[in-house]
Amino acid sequence: MDALRIAAFSYNNKGGNPAGVVIGSEMPTEKEMLETAKQIGYSETAFLKQVDDGWRVRYFAPEMEVEFCGHATIANAAVKPVVQIRNTLRLARVSRCCRYARQ
């Protein structure tokens, strides 16, 4: 499983808040996501899989799954062009789907 390390909110490759990002054709198992998050060692790692007109995303800290992570969401968008519908980024989380407007 290839994991990218991205610093959200950085400027000229300095500073920022690091997050792991893993994009796959299938969502890994919960055990695999937890192992990967531990190996990366950042506060959060996002796991993405494209579904329909958006992305299925789950966030993991090294110890457990977390419901949402802002800087990992920013890192997601920086890694791969996202599917957009009317300038909206659509992410399906564990508990519900949410939309984030781009400005």
Q: Break the chain into its structural domains and give their ranges.
A: 4-101
Q: What is the mean pLDDT of residues 3-27?
A: 89
CA dist 1 and 16 (Å) reads 24
Q: What is the mean pLDDT of residues 8-28?
A: 90
| Cβ burial, residue 87 (10 Å; 0-12/13-18/19+) | exposed
CATH architecture of 4-101: Roll (3.10)
Q: What is the pLDDT of residue 29?
A: 97
Q: Which residues contact 98 (CB under 8 A, 6 or more apart)?
A: 90, 91
Question: In 3D, which of 67, 78, 64 has the Cα closest to residue 21?
Answer: 78
Residue 14 or 102, more confident: 14
> Count of residues for the chain?
103
pTM for the model: 0.78
SS3 content of the chain, % helix, strand, coil (to 5): 20, 40, 40
Residue 88 or 3, more confident: 3
Do 24 and 48 form a contact (C-beta atoms < 8 A)? yes
Candidate ranges 42-46, 53-57, 79-83, 84-88; pick with highest mean pLDDT: 42-46
Query: What amino acid positions are annotated as catalytic residues?
Result: 44
